């Protein structure tokens, strides 16, 4: 992957379960010589597999898809392939979806009524490490700043918490999720910070009370 500001070509993978959307994107992006579509898929699970194989510069990710939604897929891909930037491309414009996408690691969020020129600009921006949001999304974020909830764990954090609370070590969790030991430890720190807890006992109590693990009592 070339992160040079003057990179000649940007590899893009499309993830959307609507063939017409994929076809339209491919037709629009075909006009730009510096964009290459390297792969397509229609669900989050297959997106994880192809992302590891292709390691594209940018993934255009839908939200509502079968097997695994785009936000959960974004979180895992951002964790496992940090050099790949993810641009959410969806019809959902609610603050909750936007917040979850940003928390998951998305670099941008554009709506499906966006012009082809703006889609191109968004791809260029996120490929260079910048962010890009549709104008209506930007306005919403300015007018309604996202508030961090002390108990707003991402799907990935909930999975890791369930393993940790079940007594698995960070090393075992890392192996199960195919991520590094350091990544698991970083998640554990984030979880403790969000929940405002310090001990394993408190993590276990939270996990039991929220149905992430079963109580032994």
Model confidence at 183, in pLDDT bands (50, 70, 90)? confident
**Residues 82 and 176 reside in one and the same domain:** no
pLDDT > 90 in the chain, percent: 42
Total number of domains in the chain: 2
CATH number of the domain bearing residue 16: 3.40.50.2300
Rounded distance between C-alpha atoms, residue 4 and residue 29, angstroms: 21
Which residue among 94, 115, 143 closes a domain? Answer: 143
Q: Which domain holds residue 203?
A: 155-209
DSSP symbol at 196: T
Instruction: Quick: pLDDT tens for 46-57.
Output: 999 999 999 999
Task: Give me the mean pLDDT over the 65-90 stretch.
Answer: 92
Q: Where is average pLDDT lowest: 21-35, 68-82, 89-103, 135-149?
A: 135-149
Average pLDDT, the chain: 86
**Residues 29 and 116 reside in one and the same domain:** yes
pLDDT > 70 in the chain, percent: 90
Close Cβ partners of 33 (under 8 Å, ≥ 6 residues apart)? none
Rounded distance between C-alpha atoms, residue 29 and residue 124, angstroms: 12
User: Of 115, 111, 131, 147, nearest to 58 (Cα)?
Assistant: 131
Provide the token pair at 100: 């979850």
**Residues 49 and 93 reside in one and the same domain:** yes
**Residues 165 and 130 reside in one and the same domain:** no
Provide the token pair at 146: 């996202």
Do β-strands 58-61 and 35-41 pair in parallel, antiparallel, or remain unpaired?
unpaired
Instruction: Quick: pLDDT tens for 104-151.
Output: 899 999 999 989 999 999 999 999 999 999 888 887 777 666 555 445
**pTM of structure:** 0.74
């Amino acid at each position: 992957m070339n992160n040079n500001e003057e990179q000649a070509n940007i590899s893009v993978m499309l993830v959307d379960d609507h063939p017409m959307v994929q076809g339209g994107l491919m037709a629009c992006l075909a006009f730009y010589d510096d964009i290459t579509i390297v792969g397509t898929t229609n669900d989050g699970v297959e997106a994880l597999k192809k992302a590891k194989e292709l390691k594209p510069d940018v993934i255009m990710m839908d939200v509502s898809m079968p097997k695994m939604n785009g936000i959960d897929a974004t979180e895992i891909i951002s964790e496992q392939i940090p050099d790949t930037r993810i641009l959410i491309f969806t019809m959902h414009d609610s603050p909750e979806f936007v917040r979850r996408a940003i928390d998951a690691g998305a670099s941008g969020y554009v709506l499906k009524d966006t012009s082809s020129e703006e889609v191109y600009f968004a791809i260029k921006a996120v490929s260079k490490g910048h962010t890009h949001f549709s104008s209506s999304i930007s306005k919403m974020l300015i007018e309604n700043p996202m508030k961090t909830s002390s108990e707003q764990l991402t799907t990935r954090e909930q999975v890791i918490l369930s393993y940790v609370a079940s007594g698995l070590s960070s090393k075992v969790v890392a192996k199960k999720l195919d991520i590094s030991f350091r990544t698991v430890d970083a998640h554990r720190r984030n979880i403790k910070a969000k929940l405002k807890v310090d001990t394993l006992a408190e993590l276990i109590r939270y996990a039991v009370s929220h149905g992430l693990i079963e109580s032994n009592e």
